[in-house]
Amino acid sequence: MDVGEKQNSLLLGIKRSLRLIGVVVVFGVVGCGSLGPGRVPGDNFSYNAAIVQSGREQMLLNLVRIRYLEMPLFLKVSSVLTQYTYEGDVGVAGTQGIGAAPSSITGSANLGYSERPTVTYLPVSGQEFARQMMSPIPTELFFGAAQAGWPTDLLMAIGVQRVGDVENMSFGSVPAPGDVDRERQFRKDLEKLERFQRLIRTLVELADEDLIEVSRGKGDDSETRYFVFDRKATGKARDRLQALKRELGLDLKTNVFRITERYTQRQADELTFQPRSLLAMMSFLARGTVVPKVHQQEGRVIPIGVATAGGVAPPPIPFRIRSQKEPPARAYVAVRYQDHWFYIEHADVTSKRIMLTLSILLSLQAPDVEAAAPALTLPTGP
């Protein structure tokens, strides 16, 4: 084959290679064109699940921090941005042999796809922290939540400090280790807790039997809530209602009581209802943390509970955070803290319901303020 024929053959081969590469590129571009929109639903669900999981872990970590006498810190997700990038290049090369040397043709086509998500976090601090974490949960929220199907018993057990004359476990100063009055103080708190839990069971039972209800005022008084006893009750039902009035310190002859947060200056026709703040709720629930024995011995926490041979048992509150050295196998949520794993078991339905309630309250308590500038931006892609 002479030189002219070799050149023609080489050019023909290059044209064929270009056509083949062009077909590959076209199909690649078409595929890329549909790849972005097709990934949006999947990415949306992935980010949703990741944010929910990180929220659970953040709440659990802050509960453990409170038990260890540390300040809780919340980061809220301000924005989630995702950039999709498509890259491609095409190359072709050939060599013409001289004399008997063979000619060669090579081609290449590269297509690339990348995703660069950016998650922006803002710390909850200052006035926002005070409003969200330290302001009492609105009384309206408790009764509205009950009507919406929330677990009323759990919500009141963790979120209410006082109903009438019955007070929940207090949040006074915790005695220092070695204080001779520590056990006595705990016994007093335990009696308050048990009495309050009995009251909640009674309220739930009477409400289920339509013997008590919470109603709203009318007209200009529509924002006021009233606690109403069934005035038509007779026999044992009436006796139970009268016993409840005595327990709450109410006038036995009155059946309608205006709900108020006052206690010391309460009127005869008023019922005290004092909700807790979200931070107070977390401080209460943090007492349900099972602190590792080695941490108790080292004095990392203030003992709260009943002294046992194995250490100090946590008080009987309806919430439990367990701990162990190794990663838990069946955890609903788990975090590593001070060389131990703290977690909530998947089978612990009550604790899971409380975690859900805390997450919802945290969202509802978020103030409607204009967002500040991003404080921390983390690119999680390459």
Q: How far apart are CA 297 and CA 285, in angstroms?
A: 22
The mean of the pLDDT values for the chain is 79
Q: Phi first, then psi: give them for residue 119, nearest 5 degrees.
A: -105, 125
Q: Does the pLDDT value for residue 134 go beyond 80?
A: yes
Most confident of 3-7, 34-38, 74-78, 296-300: 296-300
Count Cβ neighbours within 10 Å for each residue of 191-204 and write b for 16 or more, e otherwise: ebbeebbebbebbb
What's residue 9's pLDDT?
A: 58
Chain segment 184-223, per-residue pLDDT in tens = 777 788 888 889 999 999 998 998 899 999 888 888 888 8
Q: pTM for this one? A: 0.73
Residue 333 confidence (pLDDT): 97
| pLDDT score, position 222 | 82
DSSP 275-324: EPBHHHHHHHHHTTB---HHHHHTT-S---SEEETTEEEPP--S--BEEE
- pLDDT at residue 23 is higher than 60: no
The yes-or-no verdict on residue 183 having pLDDT over 70 is no
pLDDT confidence band for 27 (50 / 70 / 90): very low
Count Cα neighbours of 192 within 13 Å in the Cβ-side half-sphere.
18
Confidence at residue 177, expressed as pLDDT on a 0 to 100 scale: 53
Predicted confidence at residue 325, as pLDDT, reads: 96
**Torsion angles phi and psi, residue 134, rounded to 5:** -110, -10
pLDDT for the residue 25: 47
Among 243-252, 259-268, 335-344, which stretch is predicted with the lowest mean pLDDT?
259-268
- pLDDT of residue 182 exceeding 60, the answer is yes
pLDDT of residue 153: 82
Separation CA 357–CA 152 (nearest Å): 11
Number of neighbouring beta carbons within 10 Å of residue 223: 8
**Least confident stretch, 66-80, 133-147, 344-358:** 133-147
Mean pLDDT for the stretch of residues 349-372: 81
Work out the percent of the chain whose per-residue pLDDT is above 90: 38
> How much is the average pLDDT of 354-380?
70
Q: Which of 224, 165, 222, 157 is nearest to 193 (CA)?
A: 157
Residue 165 pLDDT greater than 90, yes or no = yes
CA distance 208 to 321: 31
Query: Residue 219: its pLDDT value, please?
Result: 83
Which two structure tokens, joined as six digits, stand for 5? 């024929």
Find, among 285, 349, 363, 350, the residue nearest to 153 by Cα.
350
CB atoms within 10 A of CB 106: 10
Residues 4-13 pLDDT 10s? 555 555 455 5
User: Is 33's pLDDT higher than 50?
Assistant: no
**pLDDT over threshold 80, residue 382:** no
How much is the pLDDT for 98?
57
- pLDDT above 50: residue 30: no
Domain ranges of the chain: 3-123, 163-275
What's the pLDDT score for residue 122?
A: 85
pLDDT band at 92 (very low <50, low <70, confident <90, very high): low
